[in-house]
Amino acid sequence: MSGSAPWQAWRTLIVLCAGSFAILMDTTIVNVAVPDLSAGLGAGLDGVLWINNVYQLVFGVLLITMSRLADRFGARTLFLTGLAVFGLASVLCGLAPDVPSLVVARAVQGVGAAMISPQPLVIIAAVFPDDRRGTALGFYNSVLGLAAVLGPVVGGLLVTHVGWRWIFFVNAPITVLGILFGSRYLPAVRPRRRSRLDTAGAALVTLGLACLMFGLIEGERYRWGAVAGGPLTIPEVLLAGGVLLVAFVLWERHRREADPLLPLALFTDRGITLLVVLTGVVQFVLLGLLLVLTFDLQSVLGLSATEAGLTTMPLMAVLTVVAPLAGRLSARMGGRAVLVAGFLVYAGGLVALALVAARGAGPAGFVLPLACCGSGMACLLAPLVTEALRRTPPGMTAALAGCLSTSRQIGAALGGVVVGAVLASLLVAGMRGHAETSAAGLSPGDRAAFLTEVHRSAGAVPQPGTGPFQARLHEVFALGYADAARTVLVLLAVLLVLGAVCCVVVLRRARAVPVPVNAPARAPS
């Protein structure tokens, strides 16, 4: 396979999956430890939130720069160095005596994760030929999906039985094994000509993405107003990010012939631009779906975190099984048909979930709709990458990897912010509407007291108690949430249908592109 025997290529893929597994699991594993982190370090909510947010922030803003460093130092070198940085930072996280130390260590973890994340695509593209690349990418994405599911489960077990510090210590043996096997089995993928790092471009894109990601991640906490009571507001931070990113694009156009950080020629093919955007859309929808499900299962149905996690298992279980098959199919028959089918099946699953939420079904009612969503998602993850690679000159693979990874991070951040805001707004309106109906049979005094209570707590989850209106409040909340969830899920389904339409209209046959002089060459493993 591109100079490698088939078993050597698959051995390489297994090493890449093992190394990347720790990163994605770490993205979700920390969430379950928030109460223990707060108690163990004596931290307030703001400090605990930054323990998770700083990792996401640093990870997201460095992806483009780290992907281009692969063109200078080689994807293998960046991958192994990233594993070392990530593993060492994980140990420091586990040993952290206080919140500031843990926040700094988490930031270093984000640096290591950013070094690792774009490299598997570059290496997979080099060692697998076109007819097997889709299967390999499908397998890779299914492993990452499994990591996302196992994160909360493993985190819960570790926190319960050995303490929160082990959610970080567990990364150490994984990264050590990744370095040992990676040093032996990963091929050296590097360009024929080493490019110089565009430092000005790196500074502009890093600062621009930092402002954008900070605004999206922290906006809700600061209620979209002043940041920590200072002179800057969240909208000003977002505007600064947009200005810096525009300046970055203008600078890259100026450096078109002089090793730009992001070759804008990559986006002269409208198909690549669309595929990068759709990669973010898929993450947007996934985060929105998980947000809706989490509240529905835990706050409406009253399931525990473990029960809710088990209820969502069909989503990732089907994704894990179907993704390699979808990747193989896209490699054989082209990505457009598979992508269109994936978007439509995913949209159908969301509509089915909307119907389930509206009827107030129990956990068993979610199985088939979530399996449908998992099937649709499986037809998107690998084919999006496979189709983008098919259109990309070899010398721009690292740049494509950085763009795809960054699009995922921004899509995930936007999904949490936008879907959360829409859901909250619809929930408040729905609760107030159902409260009027529910209060119709009450005496005038009780009716006024009940409506006052609903208006005071609209949008909040009713807390357990024995008040006179407790059962009625929970009923109003459940009905209002069902209406809000149904609307949000249908809107997400419409977004996916638009994605299918865009694939039909834009994704024609990939145009022929010349191979640049700095196209990557693989040294013997």
Prediction pTM value = 0.82
CA angle 473, 477, 483 (to 5 degrees): 150
Between CA 270 and CA 28 the distance in angstroms is: 34
Extract the runs of DSSP E, i.e. beta strands, from 35-193: 188-191
Q: Which two tokens stand for residue 420?
A: 């959360």
- Give the closest residue to 421 by CA, choosing from 462, 373, 459, 475: 459
Q: Helix, strand, coil shares of the chain as percentages rounded to 5?
A: 80, 0, 20
**Model confidence pLDDT, tens digit, residues 119-155:** 998 898 888 887 788 788 888 877 877 776 677 677 7
- Give the closest residue to 25 by CA, choosing from 385, 418, 316, 350: 316
Between CA 504 and CA 271 the distance in angstroms is: 11
Q: Which two tokens stand for residue 517?
A: 């002089």
Between CA 88 and CA 111 the distance in angstroms is: 11
CA angle 245, 248, 254 (to 5 degrees): 150
Between CA 229 and CA 209 the distance in angstroms is: 23
pLDDT in tens, the chain (525 residues): 444 557 788 888 888 988 888 777 777 677 667 667 767 777 666 667 778 778 888 988 898 888 888 878 888 999 999 999 999 999 999 998 888 898 899 999 999 999 998 899 889 888 888 778 878 888 887 787 777 667 767 777 777 788 888 888 988 898 998 899 889 888 887 665 566 777 888 899 889 988 988 888 788 778 888 887 778 899 999 999 999 999 998 888 887 656 778 888 888 889 999 999 999 999 899 888 988 887 777 777 777 666 777 787 888 888 888 888 887 787 777 788 899 999 999 999 999 999 887 666 677 888 899 999 999 998 998 889 888 888 888 778 888 888 888 898 888 888 877 888 888 888 888 877 877 777 777 777 777 877 777 777 665 666 655 566 777 777 778 888 888 889 999 999 999 999 999 999 988 754 444 444 344 444 433
**Model confidence pLDDT, tens digit, residues 394-424:** 778 888 888 888 898 888 888 877 888 888 8
Between CA 239 and CA 274 the distance in angstroms is: 24
- Say whether 226 sits in a helix, a strand or coil: strand
- Give the closest residue to 5 by CA, choosing from 129, 143, 93: 129
